[in-house]
A = this chain, B = another copy of it.
Amino acid sequence: MKGIILFGHGARNPEYIAPFQRIRALVAARQPGVPVEIGFLELTQPPLEASIECLVSRGVRQIKVVPIFFAPGRHVLKDLPELIGHAADRFPAVEFEVAACVGEVEAVIEAMAMHALNA
C-alpha cells in the first residue's frame, strides 16, 4: 500500500497547521484509498518520524514524502534526507520517495503569482 506524507517546517503558532490540514483534506478527498499524513521538522506536532511510524503501522510500504517548502534549502536538502535515512534503517521493508518541493511546481507558482496580483 502507498501513502503520502506532507512534510512541513513547523512553527510555534498553533494555527500554523491549518493550511497543511486543508491540503491533506483535499488529497484525501481525491484519493480516499491513499492514507495521507502531515509530519513536521520541528515545533508543530506530529514530527515526521511519528507520521512515518503511523503509516507503516497501517501497512503502508511505499511512502511519498512531499516537501511543503517553497524551495530546497537546508531543511529539504540535508535534514529531510537524514530523517528518511533513519526511517529507512528502522523500516527496511518500506520504500521512500521524495517529491519536488511544492514551490517548484508550475501550477503552484502560478497560483501564488495570481494571489500577489489580486490580494
Contact = CB atoms under 8 A, between A and B. Distances in A.
Interface residues of A, number: 49
B19 A71 contact: yes
Contact of A115 (B74, B100, B112, B113): B100
- Tell me how many chains of this kind the complex includes: 2
A72 to B, nearest CB: 6
A114 B27 CA distance: 7
29 contacts: A4-B117, A9-B70, A11-B71, A13-B72, A13-B77, A16-B72, A19-B70, A19-B71, A19-B103, A19-B104, A20-B71, A22-B109, A23-B112, A26-B110, A26-B113, A27-B117, A64-B119, A66-B115, A68-B103, A99-B119, A100-B119, A102-B111, A102-B116, A105-B119, A107-B111, A107-B114, A108-B115, A110-B111, A111-B111
